[in-house]
Structure 1
Amino acid sequence: MSSKPVLFALEGSQAFGHAVASELGISLAAHEDRNFDDGEHKSRPLESVRGRDVYVLHSLFGEETLSVNDKLLRLLFFVATVKDAGAERVTALLPYLAYARKDRRGKSQDPVTTRYVAQLFEAMGVDCVVALEVHNRGAFDNAFRCRTMHLDAHSLFVNSLMDRAGSEPVVIVSPDAGGTKRVDLFRDAWAETAGEQPPTAFLEKHRRDGEVTGDAVVGDMTGKVAIIVDDMVATGTTLLRAAEACKNKGATRVFGVITHALFGPGSEQLYRAGAMDQLFITDSVTPQRAPDEQSQITTLPVAGLFAQAVRELHTD
């Protein structure tokens, strides 16, 4: 496409949108948000999108002013509005994709919300969905019938972690058996940069009625820097449990790598326990509450990943 891409960022995602626009060397496109007294709203572009390649950015995490459902509905309606206004192609840019945790039926009659959300986007006419480190990449790819692009921040994390680990040996750890594929991908990213593949490990984990149990560790971490990799942290229970297990099994230091730092109620326990030496996160979401020990958090910006995705999509 010859003309420049058109980038919108909806309410609550403007700061991230400006960062992406700056990487692309463009300005955010203007739009109007209007809220009605009864709770309804409308959004519309304030410049022509006819025949244009349009990108709509929104991070679908809940916060005090806008719930997950508010943000999702506003994004869906705006995508449909832009499509109705004649856009040639509309791509949704999602630093955080809500409802991605329920990607399969764990119990009888469970919902599969990943697929339901995909159907909503498709019904609104979206042409492509770009998301950063969804809970299950295979489920994400299979849920959508439109084009998808999955981004990961592994290389960004690896560069920062190599500086912190120094010459010490490392082990890449999954907090449960279900995350071993994610750990394998992170190990590959590490090997690509360092030239050697570190060992991996995982922890036993069982969840029943909201309670997490299991303390077995599969893998050796004696005398190594343990790097625990997961896609998100909400209460911090799983991450804290994994960090304590690594220390108990002989890890010299423990680093956490979390793409989406939701930091919900209870996450303050991560630092009060002293098991976590440093936590590496991205700016994909604005945390609900920041932990007390800000010095123990390293935040990596990911706007550049989305800017590169826009470049590749726009130039086909």
Structure 2
Amino acid sequence: MPTTAEPKLIAGNANPGLSRAIARRMSMHRGMAVDLVDARVERFSDQEVFVEVFENVRGEDMFILQSTSNPANDHLMELLIIADALKRSSAARITAVIPYFGYARQDRRTKARTPISAKLVANMITQAGIERILTLDLHAAQIQGFFDIPVDNLYAAPIFAMDVMHHFKGRLQDVVIISPDVGGVARARELAKRVGCALAIVDKRREKPGEVAEMTVIGDVQGKVCIIVDDICDTAGTLCKAAEVLKDAGATEVHSYITHGVLSGPAVERITSSVMKSLVITDSITPRPEVNEAENIRVVPTAPLFAQAILNTWHGTSVSSLFEQETLTPIYEWLYHSPD
């Protein structure tokens, strides 16, 4: 494959703010302007998606920036149609940068006669001509195996670790990292290891999706600052109830770090009126105005992470190096710089 002069970015409508931020960060790294490719991604009157690329992309290394967040179907179709437009325009390689991979929670058959939608979406993405995926905190790591193309699954844990060590400096001995269910223990353990804190679990039993029947704390949280760690927060019912259970078990404060803030329905209202002191999310999904206005919700940027991952992919260097805090610290120094 011929080496192109610069990587080229094209964005869908899912997260324009993050797309522009990634372009700005890449401009800083490159010491030259990296702009989004001039294109239009819009709807016909019958809501069909239409894409037109106004720049020559023949032989170029293209990166599509598009989360498949709400409305998931519209944003997924935008991704597929952009890929088709680039493929038919003779782009040399097409990489999909999907900060939030929708349908990831449908990764297995939970009962008879149900689909595995995550696999279907993987097939569609591959058939559209996309040759590589860059994503963040897949709901289930095994989804990488649904694809017959390379998938680089980045992690928010190093960013969260820097944030925890910055905002809880001097109190880390009192911090306990909490997994909100047994299935999330590996994710919580990873953060606990990075910040050197203890680990506890909130064991939950569901009667049906969206409802939690019972919660039990496994571990000592008496007099501790609890930090709940998870990948997705949707309606926030489970999260807010877990915070209440931890407070009832003797926790002095409860905070949460969630990678993907879906925050649908009554989520923001629940969070603002809950016992949680703060909720930290990333900008993998465009925060709604009420999210930005909520006093106890804070958004940390992922643009530095994705910008570096794109450049590493373009250069053909290691993306897994971004799993390490030492690698990310320099590119997040502006956010967590301490005069001490």
- Give TM-score scaled by structure 1 length: 0.92
> Of the candidates 2, 5, 30, which is equivalent to residue 3 of structure 1?
5
Which residue of 1 is the match for residue 208 of structure 2? 209
Which residue of 1 is the match for residue 180 of structure 2? 175
Identical pairs, percent: 34
Counterpart AA for 1:16: L
Which residue of 2 is the match for residue 308 of structure 1? 308
Q: 2:206 aligns to what SS in structure 1?
A: strand
Question: 1:64-90 deviations in whole A, cap 9, x for unaligned?
Answer: xxx210110111011121012111110
Instruction: Verify the 8 A CA contact 1:264 1:288 in the aligned structure 2.
Output: no
- C-alpha distance in 2, partners of 1:152/1:146? 19
| Residue 38 of structure 1: how far off its partner (Å) | 2.0
Which residue of 1 is the match for residue 168 of structure 2? 165
- Check if 1:83 corresponds to 2:82: no
Which residue of 2 is the match for residue 200 of structure 1? 199
Counterpart AA for 2:255: F
- C-alpha distance in 2, partners of 1:24/1:189? 27
- Name which of structure 1's ranges 282-291 and 110-119 shifts more when overlaid on structure 2: 282-291
Which residue of 1 is the match for residue 102 of structure 2? 98
| Residue 53 of structure 1: how far off its partner (Å) | 0.5
Structure 1: 5+ residue runs without aligned partners?
A: 191-196
- C-alpha distance in 1, partners of 2:64/2:291? 31
Counterpart AA for 1:30: D
**Structure 1 residues 300 and 179, CA gap change in structure 2 (3 angstroms):** same
> Of the candidates 145, 149, 152, which is equivalent to residue 149 of structure 1?
152
Instruction: Verify the 8 A CA contact 2:260 2:285 in the aligned structure 1.
Output: yes
Kindly report which structure 2 residues correspond to 1:246-265, keeping only aligned pairs within 5 A, or say none: 246-265=246-265
Q: 2:295 aligns to what SS in structure 1?
A: helix
- C-alpha distance in 2, partners of 1:35/1:215? 45
Counterpart AA for 1:183: A
Which residue of 1 is the match for residue 68 of structure 2? 60
- C-alpha distance in 2, partners of 1:182/1:171? 14
Question: 1:154-189 deviations in whole A, cap 9, x for unaligned?
Answer: 222222222332333211101111111111222233
| Residue 33 of structure 1: how far off its partner (Å) | 2.7
Instruction: Verify the 8 A CA contact 1:233 1:261 in the aligned structure 2.
Output: yes
Instruction: Verify the 8 A CA contact 1:177 1:203 in the aligned structure 2.
Output: yes
Counterpart AA for 1:106: T
Instruction: Verify the 8 A CA contact 1:263 1:290 in the aligned structure 2.
Output: no
Instruction: Verify the 8 A CA contact 1:228 1:255 in the aligned structure 2.
Output: yes
Which residue of 2 is the match for residue 193 of structure 1? none
- Check if 1:271 corresponds to 2:272: yes
Q: 1:15 aligns to what SS in structure 2?
A: helix
Which residue of 2 is the match for residue 194 of structure 1? none
Counterpart AA for 1:199: A
Q: 2:183 aligns to what SS in structure 1?
A: helix
- Check if 1:37 corresponds to 2:45: yes
Q: 2:113 aligns to what SS in structure 1?
A: coil
Instruction: Please report the RMSD computed on the Cα atoms of aligned residues, expressed in angstroms.
Output: 1.6
Question: 1:93-143 deviations in whole A, cap 9, x for unaligned?
Answer: 011111001111121222111111100011111100111111112x22111
Which residue of 2 is the match for residue 218 of structure 1? 218
Instruction: Verify the 8 A CA contact 2:272 2:295 in the aligned structure 1.
Output: no
> Of the candidates 56, 73, 79, which is equivalent to residue 77 of structure 2?
73
- C-alpha distance in 2, partners of 1:88/1:313? 14
- C-alpha distance in 2, partners of 1:127/1:265? 35
- C-alpha distance in 2, partners of 1:302/1:69? 23
